[in-house]
Amino acid sequence: MIGKTNAIGDVNGCNPYAQLINYTFLYDEGDECIDITGGWSEYNRAIDTWGTIVTPTLTKGASSMTASIADTTSKQGLIATANKILWSNYSGKVFVHGLGNSNIASNSNAKIVSPTQLATQPTGNTGSIPTIHYAPQKLNGSLVADVSPTQDNYIGINLAASGSNISVEIFHLALLKNDDWTTWMTKGGVSGFATLEALLADAAAMETLMTNQDAINFMVRQCTGNVMTSVLVTPTSKNALLNSADAFEACAGNEHWFKFLDMVI
């Protein structure tokens, strides 16, 4: 049954692998994860000198938070954690589940960023934050962003509005550790891939891994970080999972995989 944990993702009732948890939420459906983040706030900061820098509006709801900028000219601003994040514990990758308005898909954007400082600057001051790391993807839907910070930084979302209002509603945001994707690959007898991205984009390899019992068992117990989230946001791998009864049942029966699976289907 979807959502019910049955021996934590066992296939045919037997899974020899220990359960790893390779993600940490920084925001989870209304929970600001204050012990880690210190809370989320809006800042009169931006990632570069484009436009006029303003303080976004941050509205906190029961199950989401929404950042927005009302714009008639070019403006940008930032929401971010109050605390710096210990990036050395993670891969540099972030999973985000959010929903942007139509303007994000056109000439404006919301990007995941990792600034080194968040001191408030006067409205209109075009001085940028130094050492900016950001993922180029526009935040709209579920994605895995690689911010790859070189030091312990904050984590935030930079909004850039050009000519019309922009808003993004955040439901989940999590830091990811690197999973052992090469061992997962070999569990299914697959080889010849130099990167996780290439593996997940190969339909034949994904069909093999999603129908091999040992590979499935290893995946649901040992791969709950960048492999899990990348599988779920990459169309080829996600389709292979959904088309495999064994893989889908194992993921739906594992509390960690199910939580993220529920965000993308």
Question: What is residue 104's three-state secondary structure?
Answer: helix
pLDDT at 110: 77
Rounded to whole angstroms, the Cα distance separating 265 from 258 reads 10
Tokens of 179: 């999973």
- From first to last of the 265 residues of the chain, give the pLDDT tens digit: 233 233 344 544 578 999 999 999 999 999 999 999 999 999 988 877 788 888 999 999 999 999 999 877 889 899 999 999 888 889 888 999 988 776 665 567 778 888 877 765 544 444 444 445 555 556 667 888 888 777 788 898 988 888 788 888 999 999 999 999 999 999 999 999 999 999 999 999 999 999 999 999 999 999 999 999 999 999 999 999 999 999 999 999 999 999 999 998 8
User: Contact at 8 Å (CB) between 206 and 200?
Assistant: yes
Rounded to whole angstroms, the Cα distance separating 205 from 81 reads 39
Give, in order, the Cα–Cα distances in Å from 74 to each of 119, 166, 181. 22, 11, 42
pLDDT at 186: 97
User: Contact at 8 Å (CB) between 13 and 7?
Assistant: yes
Where in the chain are all domains bearing CATH 2.60.120.260?
Answer: 25-176
pTM of structure: 0.88
CA angle 107, 67, 139 (to 5 degrees): 50
Q: Which fold has domain 25-176?
A: Jelly Rolls (2.60.120)
